[in-house]
């Protein structure tokens, strides 16, 4: 098979790395890719949101399967375009991707279909939102309605903080039109966990659990990022709790989307808070999480391409996923200043020497080539991912490997997985 992967981050590198292990695959392309992905795939200079050129390339190259990494092309309708052109593509349609594209839609469909989530209100008028905030107890959560690269959620500890972020979202438009509406919801207390599942719209197969770390600083402090690290599996998720989440979250949301005439085929990602009252949904995403994907795919024993094809062909009822018993930890190395402004083009050293580490994969998230050298090109630069017999061993291996890597201003959290080890 000839495979095309769309995207250029750590998630796409992990997908390319895993797909390259499939005996069904002869050639992998990635658009636009990155220097790490280039070690297992041919990178193609087409942006992930250039749907017309991607479609033309896939048609011309007779691509057997296209896998979409990021959310933007999904919401722009790339799956619809490819399917109309009789090309196999893995991911939800434009209508189904709204589960991630609009937090207002997601919250409303959860309320309508009885899926457990935080209590909330939606506002388009900032004056009404401000008046409502004055009645709320803190902490309180503010969410921009649309896509904001994982940065559109604010957990506000004071009323003043909430009012300030409301101004940023609705008046200063720091997220553009994504802030035309805002969700104000209760702040759930508990432990976060991510559960991904693959579905063909009828059958749902959950993945193993993972735990993301969104805040920039140790101790989950500071602003949210796209994710500073992850580990898998989460010790919180027992077999009984996994079954509860499947029956009360995953199955209901896929059936709800079908009833809303938005049939869902692809990866459904549930970000959950495990509260004293049980699991509640924080968010849904319409694709693989990042960096959870890195932590999950190094543990997956099954052939990923076969799972993708089973979903596309509506035959997931005949499939299953096997996992290695090992645990994994992914630590993200970020540029100084992220999630705000940061420098680009800084040389990265140690990428060759780190390959000597056993049970370590370094996934490129924001890298580029400059005169033959690999340099930084994003806020999240690398994802150092290690396997161990338990989380503690995986942590030790990951942080040892990090000592071999350097670039100016390199920053990373020191506590990824510490609560699970």
DSSP assignment string, 209-220: EEEE--EEEGGG
Q: Which of 159, 163, 167, 117 is nearest to 138 (CA)?
A: 159
For the domain with range 327-420, which CATH number is right: 3.30.1330.60, 3.90.600.10, 3.40.50.150, 1.10.3720.10? 3.90.600.10
| Residue 362 to residue 355: CA distance in whole angstroms | 8
Contact 388, 397 (CB under 8 A): yes
What pLDDT digit, counting tens, does each position of 7-18 carry?
999 999 999 999
What pLDDT digit, counting tens, does each position of 262-303 carry?
999 999 999 999 999 999 999 999 999 999 999 999 999 999
- Domain 2-91 CATH class label: alpha beta
Helix intervals (H) in 102-208: 103-112, 126-133, 159-170
| Residue 40 to residue 30: CA distance in whole angstroms | 9
DSSP state of 347: B
Q: Where are the domains of the chain?
A: 2-91, 120-186, 191-318, 327-420
Q: Supply 322's token pair.
A: 């096997």
| Residue 25 to residue 2: CA distance in whole angstroms | 6
Q: What is the pLDDT of residue 148?
A: 87
What pLDDT digit, counting tens, does each position of 24-46 carry?
999 999 999 999 999 999 999 99
Q: Which of 390, 369, 402 is nearest to 43 (CA)?
A: 369
Question: Strand 327-334 and strand 373-376: pairing?
Answer: unpaired
When pLDDT is cut at 50, 70 and 90, the band that residue 230 belongs to is: very high
Higher pLDDT, 381 or 149: 381
User: Three-class SS of residue 125?
Assistant: coil
Provide φ and ψ at 374, rounded to 5°: -90, 125
| Same fold yes or no, 2-91 and 120-186 | no
Give the mean model confidence (pLDDT) for residues 244-267: 97
Q: Is the pLDDT of residue 150 over 90?
A: no
Q: What is the pLDDT of residue 204?
A: 97
CATH hierarchy code of domain 120-186 = 3.30.1490.20
- Domain 191-318 CATH class label: alpha beta
């Amino acid at each position: 098979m000839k495979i095309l992967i769309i995207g250029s981050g750590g998630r796409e590198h992990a997908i390319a790395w895993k797909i390259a292990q499939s005996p069904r695959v002869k050639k992998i392309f990635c658009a636009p890719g990155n220097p790490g992905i280039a070690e297992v795939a041919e990178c193609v200079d087409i942006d992930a949101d250039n749907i017309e050129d991607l479609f033309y390339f896939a048609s011309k190259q007779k691509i057997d399967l296209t896998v979409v990494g990021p959310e933007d092309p999904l919401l722009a309708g790339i799956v619809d375009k490819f399917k109309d052109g009789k090309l196999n593509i893995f991911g939800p349609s434009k209508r189904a991707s709204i589960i991630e594209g609009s937090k207002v839609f997601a919250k409303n469909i959860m309320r309508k279909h009885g899926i457990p989530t935080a209590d909330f209100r939606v506002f388009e008028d900032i004056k009404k939102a401000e008046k409502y905030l004055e009645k709320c107890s803190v902490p309180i959560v503010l969410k921009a309605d649309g896509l904001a690269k994982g940065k559109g959620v604010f957990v506000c500890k004071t009323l003043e903080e909430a009012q300030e972020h409301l101004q940023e979202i609705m008046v200063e438009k720091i997220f553009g039109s994504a802030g035309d509406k805002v969700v104000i919801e209760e702040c759930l207390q508990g432990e976060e966990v991510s559960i991904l599942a693959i579905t063909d719209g009828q059958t749902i197969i959950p993945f193993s659990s993972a735990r993301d770390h969104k805040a920039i600083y140790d101790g989950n402090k500071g602003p949210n990022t796209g994710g500073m690290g992850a580990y898998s599996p989460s010790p919180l998720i027992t077999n009984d709790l996994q079954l509860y989440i499947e029956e009360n979250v995953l199955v209901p949301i896929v059936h709800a989307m079908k009833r809303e005439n938005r049939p869902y085929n692809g990866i459904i990602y549930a970000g959950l808070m495990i509260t004293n009252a049980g699991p509640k949904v924080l968010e849904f995403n319409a694709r693989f999480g990042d960096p959870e994907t890195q932590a999950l795919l190094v543990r997956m024993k099954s052939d990923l391409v076969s799972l993708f094809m089973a979903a596309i062909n509506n035959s997931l009822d005949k499939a299953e996923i096997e996992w290695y018993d090992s645990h994994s930890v992914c630590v993200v190395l970020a540029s100084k200043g992220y999630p705000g402004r940061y420098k680009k083009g800084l040389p990265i050293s140690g990428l060759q020497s780190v390959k000597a580490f056993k049970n370590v994969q370094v996934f490129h998230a924001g890298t580029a080539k400059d005169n033959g050298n690999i340099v930084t090109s994003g806020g999240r630069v690398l994802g150092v991912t290690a396997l161990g017999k338990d989380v503690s061993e995986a942590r030790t291996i990951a942080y040892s490997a990090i000592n071999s890597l350097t670039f100016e201003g390199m920053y990373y959290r020191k506590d990824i997985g510490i609560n699970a080890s």
